[in-house]
Chains A and B, each alone.
Chain A
């Protein structure tokens, strides 16, 4: 898997794998190898959780057959493990018929968007484009990729210690970043401040 490529994972039981216009368009835009389609939610979820280190946008249907996890359940299980994957919920239902508590879950856990499948595919493609771009520029995602590129030994070495004495390896930090915990967000913020600091001083040099 190419860590530089954004993976588009479509988990939806109402599409035709070979020639559905949505899938065809996604494959053209993001590359055949970067679009994965799952007509069932359980294997789709398994795939997402097994590939947390890749940049990923998930297009997730709300409703699945009996015995399958619902889209909301899949969304919550993804969010239990990471905040760095963008999830776009799509549903055949009228958005007004969705349960309030489900909508609250989506808002509180930072769903990228919810869209009616009745919308034309261009709108959904546009949302995927936007999500993919935001992933490209999100500090946490870039940092996650940087950590993933370290050797296993480097990732297992204790790296920083917080004021309460907790020590973190790069691997630990990766988990904290995915969870967007306090330490994860602090690391993210520090990297951003470092980048601004370096850029600002470089600008001074150029001007000077």
Chain B
């Protein structure tokens, strides 16, 4: 059964609540649809050395890693500390399917991880904004690709389903006249990047 390793920064003063809500949504979805699958939650208390050791322990085999935190072109960060970076430990993400709900990380970090033997990277190439009245919609969109992958779609198909889900939610928001919120989802959808092997499925991550 696939193991899920979830990094999230619940202590971030600005977006901690959003990151934690994303994590909780995923855990809930797994409980409902893939009961019994091992879930490791790594919250803001981990340090980089511990994380590196942790990754070395799981990376000989295929694994699923999801991160909800701040990011930039080349790294993910927590409290100003880069915990995954092109400069240090991107190579440890060999054999991973890595989904990063983080600004900008699809630009340099994603390609670096794939270059080091990561199977799949999904992330965003721009900064994103969150519609405060529609945070739940934003979270559902952010996790929708994972949901589809968990339910059995191959990675590439799940990614397309994710974009389609975004589109559905955009149309819903437009029905409510929530133009700006809809425009933020369009921007997030257009910012999405998929790298790696589109034919992998959850059964390839035992």
| Residues in A lying within 8 Å of B, measured CB to CB | 146, 157-167, 170, 173, 186-187, 189-191, 193-194, 197-198, 201
Contact = CB atoms under 8 A, between A and B. Distances in A.
A160 B14 contact: no
B130 interface: yes
B183 A193 contact: yes
B15 to A, nearest CB: 6
A193 B15 contact: no
Contacts of A157: 133
Contact of B187 (A164, A167, A193): A193
A166 B15 CA distance: 10
Contact of A194 (B18, B130, B186): B186
A161 B179 contact: no
Contacts of B14: 161, 163-166
Interface string B161-174: 00000010010001
B132 A160 contact: yes
26 contacts: A146-B179, A158-B132, A159-B132, A160-B131, A160-B132, A160-B180, A160-B181, A161-B129, A161-B130, A162-B127, A163-B15, A163-B129, A164-B14, A165-B12, A165-B14, A166-B14, A173-B180, A186-B129, A190-B187, A193-B186, A194-B170, A194-B182, A197-B167, A197-B170, A198-B174, A201-B167
Nearest to A182: B127
A198 B70 CA distance: 30
Contacts of A191: 179-180, 183
Where chain B touches its partner, the secondary structure class is: helix
B205 interface: no
Contact of B186 (A163, A164, A197): A197
Contacts of A159: 131-133, 180-181
Interface of B: 12-15, 18, 70, 103, 127-133, 167, 170, 174, 179-184, 186-187, 190
Contacts, number: 66
A158 B130 CA distance: 11
Contact of A163 (B70, B182, B190): B70
B184 A190 contact: yes
Given A165-B13, A191-B180, A160 B186 contact: no
Q: Which of A157, A165, A190, A201 has the most CB of B within 10 A?
A: A190
Contacts of A198: 174
B130 A160 contact: yes
A126 B186 CA distance: 38
Which 3 pairs between the two chains have the least Cβ-Cβ distance?
Answer: A165-B14, A190-B183, A194-B183
Contacts of A164: 14
Nearest to B18: A161
Contacts of B15: 161, 163, 165
A91 B183 CA distance: 42
B67 to A, nearest CB: 14
